[in-house]
Amino acid sequence: MNFTIRPGTKADFKDIWRLLKDLAIHEKMLDEMIVTYEELERDAFSQEPWFESLLAEVPEENKEGFKIVGLAVYFYTYSTWKGRSVYLEDLYVMPEFRGFGIGKNLLSTLAKVVKEKHCVQLELSVLGQNNRSRAFYSGLGAQDITLRDGWHSLRFDAQSLKNVIL
């Protein structure tokens, strides 16, 4: 299959939004997607963006009329023990375009960004029940640090944060 990987631009935002919604539907978590279209667009393309994206594009529109068929959403973090890091928030390829190397190429392109930015690691989270994704990442060398190091991911949601603020 012929496709290209490139950075997302503001002109691509409708497709970025569409793919992120598709991902939420695919994971059966659409009700947890509370960010608005306007907020996400602002955060992606402001003067100091909160995240960046890579897009997979095919040369011709598919049956639904889309050329953008996959994306990777990422942002920069920092480890005081390791140094610069990148966090992969989302990697998604439309179901009918899976199995052609698009996801692997998105990840490979992101790995090049990690290297170019002198980052030392790429981190991500995968839902426990998403065995296919877990196998995909581990097959490429990702380590499950929950099992290996005993690290657990924790989160304060908006309500929990109210309990922390003094």
Taking only the tens place, the pLDDT of each residue in 92-128 is: 999 999 999 999 999 999 999 999 999 999 999 998 8
pTM of the model: 0.92
pLDDT value at position 148? 82
Catalytic residues: 137
What phi and psi, each to the nearest 5 degrees, are found at residue 8? -75, 145
pLDDT value at position 129? 86
Q: Mean of the pLDDT values across residues 133-138?
A: 92
Domains and CATH numbers, the chain: 4-124 (3.40.630.30)
